[in-house]
Structure 1
Amino acid sequence: MSYLPSTSSLLRSPMANKVVCVQGKERIAPNPPQFGIGGLVPAPQDSGRTSSHSTEHLGSYERGPPLAVDLPKPIFSGSPMWHDSGDVLLHVHDRGTEYKFRVHQFILSMHSLVFRDMFQLGTQSKQNVLVNDLPVIPLMDPVEDVCFLLSAFYNGIEDIRESHDLDAALAVLRLSHKYQAERLYKAVLGLLLESWPLNRTDYFTMHPEQRQRVASSIKLIKTARAIQCPALLPTAFYELATIPTEQWTEHEENLLASLSSEDLRSLFLGKKRMLNRYKVFTSKLLDEHSPNPYGNCRCCNRRQIILKLRAELGVAFLDGTPDLEKSSALRSFGDIGCVKCVNCEGWLFSLLRALEVDIWENIPVDFNLYRVEKVEYASLRRCRAFR
């Protein structure tokens, strides 16, 4: 669920400018902030002064004289975006509009090391901007991301888990990393790894339709690169490489162009290297020095089995898609009529298994990715995948 209303749905009430007293002098105060659905508060734009919001203020309160500005109650009770009992205002400047969130310092401090340090430093300053005695913290993040983060701070990530909202999960992952909310970061990371698992068995127990996520995998790669989280990269790159390009939509093709040149190069090189692994594998099948561990069989023609297997795997070369499902599908050995005994069936199974394991375990190498530690390949309890 998104807590951000559209611009047209924000409910505004025109209010006249008021004369207020600031340090013994009269000045015209800007229109008080208006409140919208979900507690979002678009702040007024004051053309008479230059905005002081910048990334330089991250980590401390914005300095300046205290302002006496009325804060009317929101039209809708907007928890967790607005709390009447809140003791801090978050100012978010996004796409030319400012929004206010009234929240609790102890909630922010409980989750985030950055906010905790910010408040400790802020109490030592006597020149912080105050609105009705509330300190103001400027944030330069997208307003949607801030909404998702506050929702996670107050309500946890169950809404994300149940709704499978990838944009919400990635937003919380980015900001929990930025503001050092370690527990929340690990929780969301674990949720994403359930849908893009490093464990091969976990991945292939997912329904095939859940592994056709071009746009989602691209978004995941961009976020993982931004926060330097290598564990999210291998499966996302593999998924992009194994989806035939003719199945991509125009939107997905355009989205692919948003990847960095380095990632695009890694994607195309990785796909080529994976196809080469098929080629090397099939070229060795007819090698007479590759013994059948189950011994010679009189009822099955080993050469005929290998030729049939090579023909089936050759589809991968023609399609240009190194899809492990092509080898997995061959496990219905009834499709290979030349397999007539249990021993040869076991031998063929071992060949396919070796191919699958080799391709999967070399994803980081083929795509020039950071080599993820083996312990990170451990099986995870899987939920329904993000789309």
Structure 2
Amino acid sequence: MDEPRLKRRRTDDSDVIRTPITRSAEYWFDDGNIILQVESTQFRLTKSMLSMHSSVFRDMFLLPLPSDEAMVEGCAVVILHGDTAQDWNHLLSAMYPKFFLKVPPSVELIAGILRLSQKYDIPLFRKDCFHRLRMQFPSTLAEYDSLSGRTLLREEPHMLIPLVSLAREFDQISILPLIFYSIVVTESDKYMFKVMNDLEVNFRPADRLACLQGYVRLLDLQSLTSMSWIDKDKGYIPARSCPRYQACLMALKDIIYNMSRGQRPEIFVLGQWIAEWEVNLCDACRSKARKIFEDARQTCWNELPAVFGLPDWEELKSLDFE
């Protein structure tokens, strides 16, 4: 077997840096007939597989090889400038699937596949990535509720900010409201406030402001809609038909007290009814409170884009690429 070739990069007239070339441990196939070199990593693949997925490679392989083309083990070496080996590992994990279709992919994997599928015109993988993003961050409340905790994307809290950039980079604008909402409501290490105060995080000032303003607007929205039942001045609870007025009034005060004990007010606009709220309420008050809460969820959903300074859902969907 040939020793890994060395790529030379001249920094000045007298100094030459020798960068060792490594072969991919996973994507070096003995029957491969083309070698792609990305940064310092080589991938030995088949032209037929690349051509099947990518019109760019299909057209490239129709051209005759230059007479001085570099060869390794009888295979031409194509150096891909501007790509990263990590992105190619992500793309090849989809092209030669072991887990891509079974395990929710990470944001980094989706981003890598999208970058390369756009550059090399690989529509199958690009559409699959867009589908996963839109299913994970849907544009209707019914689709959102149907997820029921399921995930099509490994949604690590620390990757929510990169998801905003990814949505804008690839014109998946309709997923932005739910990404912003996820940033605002996540409790992971008080994520939103940590991010808002960390100027080193790569987060556009306009998006940072949208989250801060959105948090305040969501609190106002839920006080007028889904959580209006806890407002004693509105008189929803105790209900008019309440058989034990004073007991339910005390239960309501306990609910308000427990909600105020946290370091910051919680957001409930798209959440599900919490069973603990109804423990000490009578049937009439419980029914009234729950109806107010559940009826308001659609209203809150409709208002979600505007909360973050975005157009309505229909316009957002019209802005999506593909």
Output the TM-score relative to the length of structure 1. Answer: 0.60
Give the alignment of 1:86-125 within 5 angstroms: 86-93=32-39, 98-120=40-62, 122-123=63-64
Q: Please give the per-residue CA displacement for 1:279-310, whole angstroms capped at 9, x wherever unaligned.
A: 3336696457x8x9xx9526254994996598
The structure that has the greater radius of gyration is: 1
Unaligned runs of 5+ in 2: 14-20, 318-322
| Cα separation, 2, equivalents of 1:316 and 1:323 | 15
| Cα separation, 2, equivalents of 1:211 and 1:362 | 27
Counterpart pick for 2:279 among 320, 330, 334: 334
CA offset at residue 277 of structure 1? 0.6
Letter in 1 for 2:166: T
CA offset at residue 149 of structure 1? 0.7
Does residue 264 (structure 1) correspond to residue 208 (structure 2)? The answer is: yes
| Cα separation, 2, equivalents of 1:113 and 1:300 | 72
Give the alignment of 1:1-387 within 5 angstroms: 34=4, 43-47=6-10, 78-79=25-26, 81-93=27-39, 98-120=40-62, 122-123=63-64, 129-131=69-71, 132=74, 134=76, 136-155=78-97, 158-159=99-100, 161-162=102-103, 164-198=105-139, 199-203=143-147, 205-206=148-149, 213-244=156-187, 247-248=190-191, 254=198, 257-281=201-225, 286-287=233-234, 296-297=240-241, 299=243, 301=245, 304=249, 308=253, 311=256, 315=260, 319-324=264-269, 328-329=273-274, 332-335=277-280, 337=281, 339-341=282-284, 344-369=285-310, 371-373=312-314
CA offset at residue 145 of structure 1? 0.9
CA offset at residue 153 of structure 1? 1.2
| Cα separation, 1, equivalents of 2:171 and 2:70 | 36
CA offset at residue 274 of structure 1? 0.8
Q: 1:267 to 1:211 in 2, by over 3 A?
A: farther
Q: Are 2:186 and 2:192, in contact at CA under 8 Å, matched by a contact in 1?
A: no
Q: Are 1:324 and 1:356, in contact at CA under 8 Å, matched by a contact in 2?
A: yes
| Cα separation, 2, equivalents of 1:305 and 1:211 | 42
Q: Are 1:316 and 1:322, in contact at CA under 8 Å, matched by a contact in 2?
A: no
Bigger shift: residues 158-167 or 353-362: 158-167
Q: Are 2:222 and 2:269, in contact at CA under 8 Å, matched by a contact in 1?
A: no
Letter in 1 for 2:58: R
CA offset at residue 264 of structure 1? 1.0
SS of 2:38's equivalent in the other structure is strand
| Cα separation, 1, equivalents of 2:154 and 2:84 | 29
Q: Please give the per-residue CA displacement for 1:88-147, whole angstroms capped at 9, x wherever unaligned.
A: 332213xxxx32222222211211233334444x34x85784535626242311211111
SS of 1:90's equivalent in the other structure is strand
Output the TM-score relative to the length of structure 2. Answer: 0.71
SS of 1:162's equivalent in the other structure is coil
SS of 2:103's equivalent in the other structure is helix
Q: 1:251 to 1:171 in 2, by over 3 A?
A: farther
| Cα separation, 1, equivalents of 2:288 and 2:105 | 41
Q: Which has the higher contact order (CA 8 A, sep 6+)?
A: 1
SS of 1:241's equivalent in the other structure is helix
| Cα separation, 1, equivalents of 2:10 and 2:262 | 62
CA offset at residue 358 of structure 1? 2.6
Q: 1:274 to 1:182 in 2, by over 3 A?
A: same
Q: Please give the per-residue CA displacement for 1:199-226, whole angstroms capped at 9, x wherever unaligned.
A: 33135x328xx99842022232222222
- Residue 29 of structure 1: aligned partner: none
SS of 1:297's equivalent in the other structure is coil
CA offset at residue 180 of structure 1? 2.7
CA offset at residue 184 of structure 1? 1.3
